[in-house]
């Protein structure tokens, strides 16, 4: 069958390698451009002062106390990274079945937001809206008799989104995958006078095996009872992702996200083509750990595969990428 490419020239009059023969020419014809503007840096925070703890399953990633988190935010801003995302390691003693620490105005997340907003101008703060860092069952929602409760969980998520916004967060990013939570959070924020608070929905979040290092980082891996397959998506499904994204847009999401990243770039492409809204993806902990682990063993070159994979996100249709390699990528792009 003839395609639109079949009449676009023939060898030897057409030689596609001509445009590849020098660096300046390759840059001139590049179809996809990656810059620091495309990056969001997820950072883990912990209690303490001048405290830094390496996440064993994520080489090069540390949990930071709030004072060091502020310094990290300054570094990100100075590198041109537009936003940082906060994820807490919660004291196990503060974890309860109702996850009420999630909406404590004095919790670690709110204190980290306030510290950054007080000291660092020109960078956005993204906050996760989910209960797993605070839930003694390790789930994104409230559990009763082994069932993750949808509507009761949404009520807790609303409270969490409000206290984080009151603390100064710019973007609320619900990652819980409860039905109806985007509309409920949007309505509650508007009622509180936060009409300009942005929502970045984890609209198509899959029940994936790539999340384990993240759970180590926030301290929920040991607490998790069962799995998350009753609320996160089946990785076999693609059409369902479009339904999820469509619902969230209708409910008021300003931006949507696909998670994980590399194994789901087909979903990114479908979402972008179908809706044309700002679309993001998360290069999750397992993806990061897999690449860094191979690089530490000398099997891959970190600088090369980092930029290559992030460019593939852009090529698939992402307007931005959450990646633990954001600072490394921004430095490489700046040097380039």
Segment 195-241, tens digit of pLDDT: 999 999 999 999 999 999 999 999 887 778 889 999 999 999 999 99
C-alpha to C-alpha distance for 218 and 94, rounded to whole angstroms: 13
Domain with 193, as residue range(s), is: 33-335
Structural domain total, the chain = 1
% of the chain at pLDDT higher than 70? 98
Phi, psi angle pair for 103, to nearest 5°: -115, 25
Q: Is 272 a catalytic residue?
A: no
CATH number of 282's domain: 3.20.20.70
Choice among 95, 117, 187, 259 that is catalytic: 259
Residue 14 included in any domain: no
Whether residue 101 contacts residue 93, with contact meaning beta carbons closer than 8 Å, is answered with no
pLDDT at 225: 83
* pLDDT at 2 exceeding the cut of 60: no
Active-site annotation holder among 205, 228, 272, 314 = 205
User: Residue 18 has what pLDDT?
Assistant: 93
Q: Determine, yes or no, domain membership for 4.
A: no
Provide the H-helix boundaries in the chain.
23-29, 66-78, 108-119, 150-167, 181-191, 212-218, 239-251, 265-275, 285-296, 302-316, 326-335
Is residue 241 one of the residues assigned to a domain? Answer: yes
Q: Angle 157-147-42 (CA atoms, 0-180°, nearest 5)? A: 40
In-domain check, residue 8: no
Instruction: Find how far residue 313's CA is from the centre of its chain.
Output: 13
How many Å separate Cα 303 from the centre of its chain?
A: 21
Structure tokens at 243: 């339904």
**Domain presence at residue 328:** yes
205 is catalytic: yes
- Given a cut of 70, whether residue 329 has pLDDT beyond it is yes
Position 3 scores a pLDDT of 62
DSSP SS3 for 86 = strand
| Average confidence (pLDDT) over 257-282 | 98
The reply to whether 118 falls in a domain is yes
The predicted model scores a pTM of 0.95
Q: Cis peptide before 99, with omega less than 30 degrees from 0?
A: no
**Residues 116-156: tens digit of each pLDDT:** 999 999 999 999 999 999 999 999 999 999 999 999 999 99
The pLDDT score that the predictor gives to residue 1 is: 47
Contact 329/306 with Cβ under 8 angstroms? yes
Per the domain annotation, does 154 fall within a domain? yes
pLDDT tens sequence across 166-190: 999 999 999 999 999 999 999 999 9
Angstrom distances, CA of residue 174 to CA of 60, 197, 205? 26, 13, 10
11 is a domain residue:
no
Q: What share of the chain is helix, strand, coil (3-state, %, to 5)?
A: 45, 20, 35
């Amino acid at each position: 069958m003839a395609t639109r490419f079949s009449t676009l020239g023939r060898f030897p009059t057409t030689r596609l390698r001509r445009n590849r023969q020098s660096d300046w020419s390759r840059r001139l014809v590049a179809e996809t451009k990656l810059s620091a503007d495309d990056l969001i840096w997820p950072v883990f925070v912990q209690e303490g002062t001048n405290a830094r703890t390496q996440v064993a399953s994520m080489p090069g990633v540390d949990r930071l106390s709030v004072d060091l988190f502020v310094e990290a935010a300054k570094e990100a801003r100075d590198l041109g990274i537009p936003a940082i995302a906060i994820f807490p390691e919660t004291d196990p003693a503060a974890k309860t079945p109702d996850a009420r620490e999630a909406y404590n105005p004095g919790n670690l997340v709110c204190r980290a937001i306030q510290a950054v907003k007080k000291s660092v101008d020109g960078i956005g703060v993204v906050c996760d809206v989910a209960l797993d860092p605070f839930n003694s069952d390790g789930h994104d929602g409230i559990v009763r008799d082994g069932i993750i409760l949808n509507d009761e969980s949404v009520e807790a998520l609303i409270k969490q989104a409000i206290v984080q916004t009151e603390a100064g967060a710019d973007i609320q990013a619900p990652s819980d995958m409860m039905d109806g939570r985007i509309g409920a959070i949007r309505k509650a924020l508007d009622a509180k006078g936060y009409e300009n608070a942005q929502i970045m929905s984890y609209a198509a979040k899959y029940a994936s095996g790539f999340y384990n290092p993240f759970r180590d980082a926030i301290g929920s891996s040991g607490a998790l009872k069962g799995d998350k397959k009753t609320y996160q998506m089946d990785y076999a499904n693609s059409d369902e992702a479009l339904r999820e994204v469509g619902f969230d847009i209708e409910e008021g999401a300003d931006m949507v996200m696909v998670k994980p990243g590399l194994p789901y770039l087909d979903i990114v492409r479908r979402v972008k083509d179908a809706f044309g809204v700002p679309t993001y993806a998360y290069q999750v902990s397992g993806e990061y750990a897999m690449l860094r682990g191979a690089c530490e063993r000398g099997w891959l070159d970190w600088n090369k595969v980092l930029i290559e994979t992030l460019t593939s996100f852009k090529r698939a249709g992402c307007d931005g990428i959450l990646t633990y390699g954001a600072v490394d990528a921004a430095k490489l792009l700046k040097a380039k």
